[in-house]
Amino acid sequence: MRAVLSLLIALVCLTAVAVCSPARAADDAAKSEARATVERQIEAFRKDDAATAYAQAAPSIQGMFTSPDNFIEMVRKGYAAVYRARSFSIDRIEETDDEGLALGVKLQDENGVDWVALYSLEKQTDGAWRISGCRLVKAPGSAA
């Protein structure tokens, strides 16, 4: 009886792992793809590659800035820390209520001032993750 019970518990555990693992893998893959989208955009800004930076934006953002040049000009003026990040690191990725993802990014601008950005991303119908917003604030205790 004890052997049968142990076998039953083992089978239940294996079934749970088999059923749950693919979903978790998809979540990890989604987070990895979202991370790559943000990294691709920041690297594109560093190179003044307006087309690549613009391509990482969700259609709703692209609609507000009808060309890559208009988009990168807005970023230059309003998001200088993102546009010319001396360094950056993604420190957290979380799911949002609307099935999107939020990424916390620590940045340092050209002048050495620390910033924190909260990116929101939404999954597109083609499966790609695109940036739907970015909130940028000086890091607490940051100089100038």
Q: Which domain holds residue 117?
A: 29-138
**Stretch 108-122: mean pLDDT:** 96
Residue 143 forms part of a structural domain: no
- Which residues are 94's β-sheet partners? 102
Residue 123 forms part of a structural domain: yes
List the CATH number of the domain containing 95: 3.10.450.50
Give the type of residue at 104. Answer: G
When the pLDDT of each residue in the chain is averaged and rounded to a whole number, the result is 86
24-73, pLDDT tens digit by residue? 554 889 999 999 999 999 999 999 999 999 999 999 999 999 999 999 99
CA distance 46 to 38: 13
CA distance 118 to 138: 12
- List all residues 6 or more positions away from 116 whose beta carbon is below 8 Å from its beta carbon: 104, 105, 106, 107, 136, 137, 138, 139
* Structure confidence at residue 122 as a pLDDT band (50, 70, 90): very high
How many residues does this entry show for the chain? 144
Number of domains composing the chain: 1
In this predicted structure, the answer to whether residue 81 has a pLDDT above a threshold of 60 is: yes
Residue 36 forms part of a structural domain: yes
Residue 130 forms part of a structural domain: yes
Residue 20 forms part of a structural domain: no
